[in-house]
Amino acid sequence: MFKQITKSVPIAPRFARTYIAGQFTGAKGPNGKYTVTLIEGDGIGPEISQSVKDIYAAANVPIEWEPVDVTPLLIDGKTTLPQPAVDSVNKNLVALKGPLATPVGKGHTSMNLTLRRTFNLFANVRPCKSIVGYDTPYENVDTVLIRENTEGEYSGIEHTIVPGVVQSIKLITKPASEKVIRYAFEYAKSINKPHVLVVHKASIMKLSDGLFVNTAKEVAKEYPDVTLDFELLDNTSLKLTSDPSEYKNVVMVMPNLYGDIMSDLSSGLIGGLGLTPSGNMGNKVSIFEAVHGSAPDIAGKGLANPTALLLSSCMMLRHMSLNADADKIENAVLKTIASGPENRTGDLKGTASTSHFTEQVINNL
């Protein structure tokens, strides 16, 4: 299927593991429900979060929401999350997050970056699948991309050498690479796409990307039932926009910066971030999120599209092994979008309000 890809490496089992970082280990409470931390977010966040809550209540999903405030604190010049929010996520092990806006002009670091660092969210998982009834120039897109989420060019190690000359250090470590690559293998098995594709630029960055590539070869020895291939980043970019169907049977995994760019590129193939679910995996904590912006210009007007947050919540349910609930909600969302522009929000070339879209999803449950 893949042209100009290094051939699969021979692999053999090494040892068994009882726990892989990123797996959900939570349990139901005495009331038979899981408690999930809810970060409603800014701008349109409260509106789309309300949509999720209404639909979950109608679908009788065994979830109890625990809303938290993540308004950032600046402690010793460092952006910090309120302790009650941190405690909630660590207790519940899973959270659903709406879009967050970083306070401007107050010295705060990106809120999304703060969340990743606080909970060591080492892998970002971004599936992109064409939505039936919403046409784009591409058909039958079905890609999965896993991005290393903690280092690379985003390590924040940069300084001015002399005026006009700045150095930014790309940090790649074997432990972080191994963790995200192993998760990619596990995820590939869990979704019945036992083929991992490492996207890299080791032809130029022989040490940093070379370490990522060599680590993948080592991890592959533990997974004899999963194929491992490699492809250069520029080649992937060209082929993904030429014929994304070539990538429907693989799970792509790549360093941080490449994953940031390529995940948004993949979202563009299916119609944008408003249709794209996303999950961030930590050692034991996982946060699922809508990756679009907070859209303050339409906040409070009933125009927001809750699809991305709803589909992200379905990823969350599958992560928690609540597959039947996930299928029920996802099918209702997709049926609503496919039913026509009168039931789609404005960003999807429709005329529906947030509340009307929510009602239609509930009707389609």
Query: pLDDT by residue (tens digit) across 239-270?
Result: 999 999 999 999 999 999 999 999 999 999 99
Torsion of CA 187, 190, 192, 197, to 10 degrees: 10
Whole-number mean pLDDT of the chain? 91
pLDDT tens digit sequence for 334-353 = 999 999 999 999 999 999 99
Cβ neighbours of residue 96 closer than 8 Å, sequence gap 6 or more: 36, 37, 38, 39, 49, 52, 287, 288, 289, 309, 312, 313, 316
| Domain 25-126+275-364 matches domain 137-269 at the CATH topology level | yes
pTM of the model: 0.90
Residues 189 and 20: their CA atoms lie apart, in Å, by 13
The residue ranges of DSSP E strands in 237-353, in sequence order, are 251-254, 279-281, 286-289
Residue 16 is predicted with a pLDDT of 40
CB 313 within 8 A of CB 270: no
Token digits of residue 80: 């910090």
pLDDT tens digit sequence for 127-164 = 999 998 899 999 989 999 999 999 999 888 999 999 99
Residue 248 CB-half CA count within 13 A: 12
H or E stretch covering 65: strand 63-67
Under DSSP, the state recorded for 342 is: G
CB 341 within 8 A of CB 349: yes
Q: Check residues 125 and 106 and name the one with the higher pLDDT.
A: 125
Assign a CATH topology to domain 25-126+275-364.
Isopropylmalate Dehydrogenase (3.40.718)
Asked: is 137-269 a CATH 3.40.718.10 domain? The reply is: yes
**Whether pLDDT at 273 is above 50:** yes
**Whether pLDDT at 180 is above 90:** yes
CB 34 within 8 A of CB 90: no
H or E stretch covering 125: strand 123-129
- Backbone φ and ψ for 172, nearest 5 degrees, come out as -125, 125
CB 278 within 8 A of CB 290: yes
Map out the domains of the chain as residue ranges. Answer: 25-126+275-364, 137-269
